[in-house]
A and B are shown apart, each in its own frame.
Chain A
Amino acid sequence: MIIKSKSIGKFVDYSGRKLNAPQQALIMGASAVLFQPYINRKNKRLDDDTRDMAVARSIGKCIVANSSDFLARVVSIFAVAKLSNYITKSDKNNEDLVTELTPKSKLDIFAPNMKENFEPRTNKELLKDIKSYRYAMGALLATGFAVFLKTTIELPFTKKLTDYFYKREKLKKEIHDKTDGNK
């Protein structure tokens, strides 16, 4: 299949270059808020009360969990990008061949510090590897941060939002029952 539309080609290219981990978390989160409460609401195997609680919990959990996931990823990627500046040394006979990789300053705590054990590679290759390394490091840091957020902020917020949406579900049902009774 050949895509003739230039705008589709541009969109695909843009997605590959710009759709980063935090943006993907946002898209996943938005679709979770859209689908999961609906799926729970349509679960006819449950009694009304359990179903209402499941719907309220899925809304609360999706909002809080995905917001904290987004926050963890943004902060971690930003921190790793800012604290992983590096300097390189090139081969005397070939300027394009990098032979050493060290942090630029003491603040660059996420930069690799490799002298003898650095496998030489071209500048272009190093840029690609550093990009991939920063992604990996950002993801690891985000995991640690997410664990902290999940055990401290996420749980009480999920409960608060669940209670709020549970009351709303009940209120909606009451209004619906009253309108049905008036008919």
Chain B
Amino acid sequence: MIKPTGISSFNNYIFKNYAKDSSKLLVHVGTGVTVIGASAQVGMLLADKDIEGHTKKYLVNQEIITSGCCIGLYYTICDGTRRLTNKILEQGKFLTEKIALSIASLNDENKNPKVSQWKDVFTKDELKKGISNNLEHIQDTKIYKNTADSLKPQLFEYSQKILESFRGFKNGVSVLAVLAASIFAGNIAGPVLGNIIASLPAKKDCKIQPCGK
């Protein structure tokens, strides 16, 4: 038995609080790194004697405002995308043919399951709870209750297999959607918005010192 040390109590705290869901911590950590990085860059710009006064002023403003815009957009766009993707997927509005067929085949009346039949497996009220929830708690669904007792263990096992592939698909779509949203928020919308706001005082400077001359 290895004796607990100071670092193990920190490890235990992280395990207790974030082992079930590390995504929140990852977002906060990402924001922290952005703030630290921007502060360091501002410090570097202020210390740089080679950059001219009004250029330095613009670059410092740009760094602070763009970082602020990126963080704000990251929280709104990325979180919104994650929630929307989750909702769309859980309602079955975006599915693979393989998963749709697997869900359709949960109903033993569907001898030759077709893709469109997956919707008939769950009731409207059940569908509102999401596909994952219905597959995970298949015992609470109408289809399970209507299945012969002898076939119930088989149905449960099969539903857990479908749940695993659905979660894999959901995770993949989520990762890709949030990555695309991050690129848009952090590399396109943030810098464009940051440039517009940071350029306002620079534009005033340009009126005094004609631009491009």
Q: List chain A positions with a Cβ less than 8 A from chain B.
A: 1-4, 6, 8-9, 11-17, 19, 21, 24, 27-28, 31-32, 34-36, 39-40, 43, 45-50, 53-54, 57-58, 61, 65, 69, 101-103, 105-106, 108-114, 117, 129-130, 132-133, 135-137, 139-140, 142-143, 146-147, 150-151, 154-155, 158-159, 163
Q: Can you list 18 residue pairs at the A/B interface with Cβ under 8 Å? A: A3-B95, A12-B169, A27-B183, A32-B187, A49-B55, A57-B59, A101-B15, A109-B7, A112-B15, A129-B15, A132-B18, A132-B19, A133-B14, A136-B25, A137-B11, A140-B14, A155-B41, A155-B44
A54 near B58 with CB under 8 A, answer: yes
Q: How far is the CA of A49 from the CA of B1 in the complex (A)?
A: 65
Q: How far is the CA of A163 from the CA of B51 in the complex (A)?
A: 10
* Residue B80 is within 8 A (CB to CB) of chain A in the complex: no
B199 near A46 with CB under 8 A, answer: yes
B168 near A150 with CB under 8 A, answer: no
> Interface-forming stretch among B123-131, B136-144, B145-153, B203-211?
B203-211
Q: How far is the CA of A3 from the CA of B94 in the complex (A)?
A: 7
User: How near does chain B come to A94, taking the closest CB pair, in angstroms?
Assistant: 19
* Residue B162 is within 8 A (CB to CB) of chain A in the complex: no
B19 near A2 with CB under 8 A, answer: no
Which of B8, B187, B192 contacts A113, CB < 8 Å?
Answer: B8
Query: Please, which residues of chain B bring their CB within 8 A of the CB of A117?
Result: 12, 16
Query: Please, which residues of chain A bring their CB within 8 A of the CB of B213?
Result: 47
Query: Please, which residues of chain B bring their CB within 8 A of the CB of A50?
Result: 54-55, 58-59, 202
**Chain B 33-62 per-residue mask, 1 if CB under 8 angstroms from chain A, else 0:** 100110011011000101110110011001
User: How near does chain A come to B63, taking the closest CB pair, in angstroms?
Assistant: 9
For A133, give the chain B residue with the smallest CB separation: B19
A48 near B115 with CB under 8 A, answer: no
B191 near A129 with CB under 8 A, answer: no
User: How near does chain A come to B123, taking the closest CB pair, in angstroms?
Assistant: 21
**Known A2-B96, A9-B96, A158-B44: A46·B22 in contact at CB below 8 Å:** no
Q: How far is the CA of A151 from the CA of B47 in the complex (A)?
A: 13
B188 near A39 with CB under 8 A, answer: yes
Query: Please, which residues of chain B bring their CB within 8 A of the CB of A11?
Result: 172
Chain B interface category by residue count: 35 or more
B22 near A136 with CB under 8 A, answer: yes
User: How near does chain B come to A42, taking the closest CB pair, in angstroms?
Assistant: 9
* Residue B84 is within 8 A (CB to CB) of chain A in the complex: no
Query: Please, which residues of chain A bring their CB within 8 A of the CB of B209?
Result: 47
A129 near B26 with CB under 8 A, answer: no
A16 near B33 with CB under 8 A, answer: no
Task: Taking A28-B186, A53-B59, A142-B33 as given, write out 4 further A-B residue pairs in contact, using a Cβ cutoff of 8 Å, ordered by the A residue number.
Answer: A6-B98, A13-B168, A43-B195, A102-B2
Which of B51, B100, B174, B212 contacts A16, CB < 8 Å?
Answer: B174
B171 near A16 with CB under 8 A, answer: yes
Query: Please, which residues of chain B bring their CB within 8 A of the CB of A112?
Result: 8, 11-12, 14-15
A143 near B32 with CB under 8 A, answer: yes
Which of A3, A19, A103 contacts B2, CB < 8 Å?
Answer: A103
B175 near A150 with CB under 8 A, answer: no
Query: Please, which residues of chain B bring their CB within 8 A of the CB of A111?
Result: 8, 11
Which of B19, B93, B182, B206 contacts A47, CB < 8 Å?
Answer: B206
**Known A114-B12, A158-B41: A15·B199 in contact at CB below 8 Å:** no
Residue of A24, A31, A69 contacting most chain B CB atoms (<10 Å): A31
A135 near B36 with CB under 8 A, answer: no
Which of A1, A47, A140, A158 contacts B25, CB < 8 Å?
Answer: A140
* Residue B21 is within 8 A (CB to CB) of chain A in the complex: yes
B29 near A12 with CB under 8 A, answer: no
**Known A46-B206, A48-B211, A146-B33: A15·B172 in contact at CB below 8 Å:** yes
